[in-house]
């Protein structure tokens, strides 16, 4: 009985999910339209998601706070602010490009498209109707898609090709697994 109750005691949200509190949420059509537009465009360039924050609270998600879905939804690399803010302390994120992109999208000021291009960013994705920091000034002439939930902007200028991160060696993982099995 203790073994059966342990998961419910350790994860009370699991029990609430079992009683209908967790339900699937369907993405608005803008998400599929922007994904298709990005997939069809052969030009290089990663996407920077705005407002520049890691968490979102969309109306279509009942206002529940969730990790920004854009990096998992789109086929291109999506940069988001991956810093962790705890009170007055800011823990730096893992992606140096995400940190370098922050000064290029100043709130209420024009976007520095050249700086973003040097970072390999060719697109700006504006996730509308979600709270977050003030947006930078965007040029309507650069808008490639305008929807109720998403706007997509193609940045003018050159976009640097950013090399993919090398895959880690599998040898340490295999050795650790062998040691664990032993």
3-state secondary structure the chain: CHHHHHHHHHCHHHHHHHCCCCCCCCCCHHHHHHHHHHHHCCCCCEEEEECCCCEEECHHHCCCEEECCHHHHCCCCEECCCCEEECCEEECCCCHHHHHHHHHCCCCCECCHHHHHHCCEEEEEEECCCCCCCCCECCHHHEEEECCCEEEEECCCCCCCCCCCCCCCCHHHHHHHHHHHC
| Other beta carbons within 10 Å of 12 | 10
C-beta separation of 60 from 29 below 8 A:
no
C-beta separation of 162 from 45 below 8 A:
no
Do the bridges between strand 65-67 and strand 78-79 make them parallel or antiparallel, or are there none, so unpaired? unpaired
**Starting from the edge strand earliest in sequence, which strands make up the sheet with 78-79, in order?**
78-79, 46-50, 121-127, 150-154, 143-146
Question: pTM for this one?
Answer: 0.79
| Vertex 99 angle, CA 97 and 101, to 5° | 65
Walk along the chain (182 residues) in steps of 10 and give the mean pLDDT of each run.
84 70 84 96 93 88 88 93 88 90 93 94 93 88 94 93 75 91 94
- What is the pLDDT at residue 66? 87
Structure tokens at 19: 């009683």
Q: How many angstroms separate the CA atoms of 56 and 78, rounded?
A: 15
- What is the pLDDT at residue 162? 80
Q: How many angstroms separate the CA atoms of 172 and 109, rounded?
A: 47
- What is the pLDDT at residue 27? 93
**24-52: string of b/e by CB count within 10 Å (b at 16+)?**
eeeebebbeebbeebeeeeeebbbbbbbb
- What is the pLDDT at residue 15? 66
- What is the pLDDT at residue 17? 67
């Amino acid at each position: 009985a203790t073994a059966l109750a342990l998961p419910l005691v350790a994860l009370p949200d699991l029990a609430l999910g079992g009683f209908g509190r967790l339900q699937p949420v369907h993405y608005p059509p803008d998400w599929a339209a922007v994904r298709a537009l990005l997939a069809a465009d052969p030009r290089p360039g990663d996407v920077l998601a705005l407002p520049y924050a890691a968490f979102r609270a969309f109306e279509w998600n009942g206002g529940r706070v969730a990790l920004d879905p854009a990096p998992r939804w789109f086929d291109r690399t999506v940069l988001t602010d991956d810093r962790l803010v705890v009170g007055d302390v800011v823990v730096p994120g893992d992606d140096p490009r995400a940190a370098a992109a922050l000064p290029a999208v100043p709130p209420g000021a024009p976007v520095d498209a050249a700086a973003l291009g040097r970072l390999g960013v060719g697109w700006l994705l504006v996730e509308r109707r979600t709270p977050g920091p003030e947006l930078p000034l965007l040029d309507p002439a650069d808008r490639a898609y305008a929807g109720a939930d998403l706007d997509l902007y193609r940045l003018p200028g050159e976009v640097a090709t950013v090399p993919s991160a090398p895959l880690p060696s599998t040898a340490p993982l295999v050795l650790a697994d062998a040691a664990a099995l032993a």
